[in-house]
C-alpha cells in the first residue's frame, strides 16, 4: 500500500514540475496616457503631457534550453489598426530572453484609431517556434477587387 502511494506521489510531482514551464512568447496590450510619464507625477513642465496618448504592445520571449539552438531568431509582428490598415514588422532577436515594445503614439494613434488586433510570431531558422495573438484575431479573406 505504501509503495503504491509513494509511486503516485513521485508521478504527481513529475507532472506538476514539468507542466509549469513559462510561455515562450507573451504579448500585452496597454493604453498609454499622460500618467505614463514621470513628469505627470512630479508636476514638472513637459510638452508631451498634452499630446501623449496611444497604445503599447509589450512582447516578451524566453527561448529556453529545451528548444533547439537557432542561429537566426526573429519576431514577425502583424498589427491591424482600427482604420482597417495592416502593418507588418520584422525584428531580429539576438538574445534568448528579451523584450520588445511596439508603440503607437500621437498623431499616428489619432489617425488610425488605435490597435484593433495583433499577431506575433517567433521564428527560428525559418521555422515557427511560437505565436501569440489577440483573442479576436482571424486571417483576412481576400475576395478581390470589384
Each residue's pLDDT tens digit, 62-108: 887 656 778 888 999 999 999 999 999 999 998 888 999 999 988 89
Q: What is the pLDDT of residue 10?
A: 52
Judge whether 17 lies within some domain: no
CATH code of the domain in which 85 resides: 2.60.40
Domain count, the chain: 1
Segment 4-19 shows an average pLDDT of: 49
Judge whether 95 lies within some domain: yes
With a pLDDT cut of 70, the percent of the chain lying above it is 77
Judge whether 85 lies within some domain: yes
Judge whether 68 lies within some domain: yes
Q: Calculate Rg over the CA atoms of the chain.
A: 21
pTM beyond 0.85: the answer is no
Judge whether 16 lies within some domain: no
Segment 44-67 shows an average pLDDT of: 79
Residue 60: Cβ-neighbour burial (10 angstroms; 0-12, 13-18, 19+): middle
* C-alpha to C-alpha distance for 63 and 93, rounded to whole angstroms: 11
Confidence of residue 117 (pLDDT cuts 50, 70, 90): very high
Segment 104-122 shows an average pLDDT of: 93
Q: What is the domain range of residue 65?
A: 22-133
Judge whether 82 lies within some domain: yes
Amino acid at each position: 500500500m505504501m509503495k503504491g502511494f509513494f509511486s503516485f506521489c513521485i508521478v504527481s510531482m513529475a507532472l506538476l514540475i514539468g507542466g509549469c514551464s513559462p510561455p515562450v512568447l507573451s504579448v500585452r496590450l496597454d493604453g498609454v496616457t499622460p500618467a505614463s510619464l514621470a513628469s505627470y507625477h512630479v508636476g514638472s513642465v513637459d510638452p508631451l503631457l498634452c499630446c501623449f496618448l496611444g497604445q503599447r504592445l509589450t512582447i516578451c520571449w524566453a527561448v529556453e534550453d529545451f528548444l533547439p539552438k537557432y542561429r537566426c531568431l526573429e519576431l514577425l509582428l502583424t498589427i491591424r489598426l482600427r482604420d482597417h490598415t495592416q502593418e507588418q514588422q520584422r525584428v531580429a532577436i539576438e538574445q534568448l530572453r528579451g523584450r520588445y515594445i511596439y508603440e503607437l503614439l500621437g498623431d499616428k494613434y489619432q489617425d488610425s484609431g488605435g490597435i484593433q488586433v495583433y499577431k506575433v510570431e517567433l521564428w527560428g531558422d525559418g521555422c515557427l517556434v511560437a505565436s501569440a495573438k489577440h483573442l479576436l484575431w482571424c486571417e483576412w479573406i481576400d475576395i478581390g477587387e470589384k
